[in-house]
Amino acid sequence: MYQKVDTNLNFVDREKAIEKFWEEKDIFRKSMENRKEAKTYTFYDGPPTANGKPHIGHVLTRVIKDMIPRYRTMKGYMVPRKAGWDTHGLPVELEVEKLLGLDGKEQIEEYGLDPFIQKCKESVWKYKGMWEDFSGTVGFWADMDDPYVTYHDDFIESEWWALKQIWDKGLLYKGFKIVPYCPRCGTPLSSHEVAQGYKAVKERSAVVRFKVVGEDAYFLAWTTTPWTLPSNVALCMNPEETYVKVKAADGYTYYLAQALLDKVLGSLGKEEEGVKVYEILETYVGKDLEYKEYEPLFACAGEAAEKQHKKGFYVTCDGYVTMSDGTGIVHIAPAFGEDDAQVGRKYDLPFVQFVDGKGEMTEETAYAGKFVKDADKDILVDLEKEGKLFDAPKFEHDYPFCWRCDTPLIYYARESWFIKMTAVKEDLIRNNNTINWIPESIGKGRFGDWLENIQDWGISRNRYWGTPLNVWECEDCGHMEAIGSREELEKLSGNPAAQTVELHRPYIDEITCNCPKCGKTMKRVPEVIDCWFDSGAMPFAQHHYPFENKELFEAQFPAQFISEAVDQTRGWF
Ligand SMILES: [Zn+2]
Ligand SMILES: [Zn+2]
């Protein structure tokens, strides 16, 4: 059945007429009413944020996301389509800061968290009307009259329930996250701020000898930040690259990457002058040398590791080590680099941070009170004296400076909360393999690769407008409890206000608990969580599960599927 299209047809008019017809006859609602008894088809659409204007990319995704539920509806399924809004996060805070003429956390706290949070709540809806109009225009069907909203207390309570499940399995933990940090301002900088302050600098790097345990040989490793060397706890090689043990012209025996032999040892002489620069004694792949031990470069790091009862000072392996610079062996100081921190988590290395919040070396080192960049010289001199310095080549690179005060930034570990994704990696991969990805290459390739290299998820943010992290900590003995509901909070606090208090900062922070271990006061930790956890929680949090709509949710999410998922998590700990 074809119908010839009139060449004078006005497509806009026709579109408007159809939109009007759908609206007047309430077609969307009827499409669900008529199928009430039919089989449910579940489609999850991640919530958009309404504090930004919709753009052409949203048109494309909304159209695609409408096609599937529409098709399933026409096939006779009942497709619930509750609209939702993603509402927390830094962009909202920044917009409100701009509106109020505030700059930074100090000024926000001076202004007051209570009015600030209220402004955030208003700001979230700035473009709601525009979103509704455009969704109607492109024929996107969703129940916009009764949406879920990620800042609603019920939504937050469901997230707390989920976080508590994660906590009970031992998969929510406090660790360290590396941030670009200005030691003068005493604050981390966003990637946007860091990008504003790069300058080309020329400084001394160091190629250092790490003495192998039980062998008259050394690992050679290169660093551009000598001040991180006192905090060294491991070395890292690429597990698949080729490494060699060589007898060098300077009389030492070294381990380093084959690909960089000439570049590193070339300074010892030239072959044509009759000097044999090196002789290869043995060849390995990095993986062969994993766990090979060396002596701590600085005694202070060895002592710190001992205090933590953790084993360090051995070779680790990671694919991030490249053959483009240095020796192919990377020095690992988990307090001062994101790659280092990841290796530290993977191998459970000691955590040594011999630099304080002012960017000065701490008293455990021989350089106490010196600013890190000034300590570089002394460290090189000491290494040279002890025969541990192979070379200190000048190195030119772009280095970030603080855009506010022109102080060189350092990468610095700050406390942060993580979800231990690495513990569920095999489950994630197995589940991903059951998904019918179209095209297949996205699921097996891009997404599959990402899962293969999954990292623990840093979920905490040191901000205000977000779902508060549901952990209360004892001021005295450090005991921590994760709270999974208002009811649990009332029980632990003995405060009936727990049933009604708004679950945002600063209101929730007024509810303190009594420590079940020592009886002293427990306060909520200051962090809020990544708003991606909010949007990821929408399948259950939109129903206020498990506090309400238990049957409804479990009907959409078959019980045997839930119990399978629960079974898979058994035996993790
Ligand atoms: Zn600064
Ligand atoms: Zn306590």
Token readout for 13 is 């008019």
Q: Which ligand is nearest to the CA of 194?
A: 1
Asked if 69 contacts 140 with a C-beta cutoff of 8 angstroms, the reply is no
The Å distance, Cα 105 to ligand 1 centre, comes to 14
pLDDT of 278 above 80: yes
pTM: 0.76
Q: What is the pLDDT of residue 565?
A: 43
Q: What is the pLDDT of residue 304?
A: 95
Q: Helix, strand or coil for residue 201?
A: strand
Token readout for 14 is 């026709």
Q: What is the pLDDT of residue 109?
A: 93
As a whole number of angstroms, the distance between CA 7 and CA 9 comes to 6
For the chain, what percent of residues have pLDDT higher than 70?
96
The type of residue at 508 is: I
Q: What is the pLDDT of residue 270?
A: 65
Q: For the CA atoms of the chain, what is the radius of gyration?
A: 29
Q: What is the pLDDT of residue 568?
A: 38
Query: Does 459 or 294 have the greater pLDDT score?
Result: 294
Q: Mean pLDDT across the stretch 304-313?
A: 95
Q: What is the pLDDT of residue 569?
A: 36
pLDDT of 170 above 90: yes
Q: Which ligand is nearest to the CA of 522?
A: 2
As a whole number of angstroms, the distance between CA 170 and CA 499 comes to 27
The Å distance, Cα 401 to ligand 1 centre, comes to 8
The Å distance, Cα 468 to ligand 2 centre, comes to 21
Cβ neighbors of 433 (< 8 A, separation 6 or more) are none
The length of the chain in residues reads 573
**Given pLDDT bands bounded at 50, 70 and 90, which one contains residue 274?**
low
Q: Mean pLDDT across the stretch 187-195?
A: 80
∠ CA 249-252-253, rounded to 5°: 105
Token readout for 442 is 């996205």
pLDDT of 195 above 90: no
The Å distance, Cα 190 to ligand 1 centre, comes to 12
The type of residue at 531 is: C
For the chain, what percent of residues have pLDDT higher than 90?
73
pLDDT of 472 above 80: yes
Query: Does 51 or 400 have the greater pLDDT score?
Result: 400
As a whole number of angstroms, the distance between CA 249 and CA 268 comes to 6
CA atoms within 13 A on the CB side of 354: 29
As a whole number of angstroms, the distance between CA 30 and CA 260 comes to 70
pLDDT of 352 above 90: yes
**Given pLDDT bands bounded at 50, 70 and 90, which one contains residue 8?**
confident
Q: Mean pLDDT across the stretch 270-284?
A: 81
pLDDT of 539 above 60: yes
Q: What is the pLDDT of residue 275?
A: 67
The Å distance, Cα 485 to ligand 2 centre, comes to 21
Q: What is the pLDDT of residue 5?
A: 79
Q: Mean pLDDT across the stretch 183-188?
A: 81
Q: Which ligand is nearest to the CA of 479?
A: 2
∠ CA 349-353-356, rounded to 5°: 165
Q: In this predicted model, what pLDDT tens digit does every residue of 316-347 receive, in sequence order?
A: 999 999 999 899 999 999 999 989 999 998 89
Token readout for 149 is 């909203």
Q: Which ligand is nearest to the CA of 358?
A: 1
Token readout for 386 is 């002890």
Average pLDDT, the chain: 91
As a whole number of angstroms, the distance between CA 132 and CA 193 comes to 34
Q: In this predicted model, what pLDDT tens digit does every residue of 11-39 receive, in sequence order?
A: 889 889 999 999 999 999 999 899 999 98
Q: What is the pLDDT of residue 566?
A: 40
The Å distance, Cα 185 to ligand 1 centre, comes to 4
Question: Which residues is 179 bridged to in the sheet?
Answer: 412
Q: Mean pLDDT across the stretch 198-216?
A: 95
Cβ neighbors of 333 (< 8 A, separation 6 or more) are 228, 229, 231, 232, 233, 340, 352
Domain boundaries along the sequence of the chain: 200-411
The Å distance, Cα 481 to ligand 2 centre, comes to 10
Cβ neighbors of 526 (< 8 A, separation 6 or more) are 462, 509
Asked if 288 contacts 206 with a C-beta cutoff of 8 angstroms, the reply is no
Helix (H) or strand (E) holding 248: strand 242-248
Token readout for 182 is 């200005």
Q: In this predicted model, what pLDDT tens digit does every residue of 425-444 receive, in sequence order?
A: 999 999 999 988 988 999 98
Q: Which ligand is nearest to the CA of 518?
A: 2
**Residue 399 class from Cβ within 10 Å (0-12 exposed, 13-18 middle, 19+ buried)?**
middle
Q: Which ligand is nearest to the CA of 104?
A: 1
The type of residue at 61 is: T
Tracing tokens 């909360």 back to the chain, one arrives at 417
Q: Helix axis angle, 90-100 relative to 113-123, nearest 10°?
A: 110
Handedness of CA 418, 422, 428, 433 (dihedral sign): positive
The Å distance, Cα 354 to ligand 1 centre, comes to 20
The Å distance, Cα 477 to ligand 2 centre, comes to 4
Q: What is the 3-state secondary structure (H, E, C) of 524-537?
A: ECCCEECHHHHHHC
Q: Which ligand is nearest to the CA of 473?
A: 2
Q: Mean pLDDT across the stretch 413-425?
A: 91
From the candidate CATH numbers 2.40.128.690, 1.10.3470.10, 3.90.740.10, 3.40.30.10, the one assigned to the domain spanning 200-411: 3.90.740.10
Which residues are within 5 Å of ligand 2 (an ion), measured at CB? 474, 476-477, 479, 515, 517-518, 520
Asked if 325 contacts 256 with a C-beta cutoff of 8 angstroms, the reply is no
Q: In this predicted model, what pLDDT tens digit does every residue of 355-395 receive, in sequence order?
A: 998 899 999 999 999 999 999 999 999 999 999 999 999 99
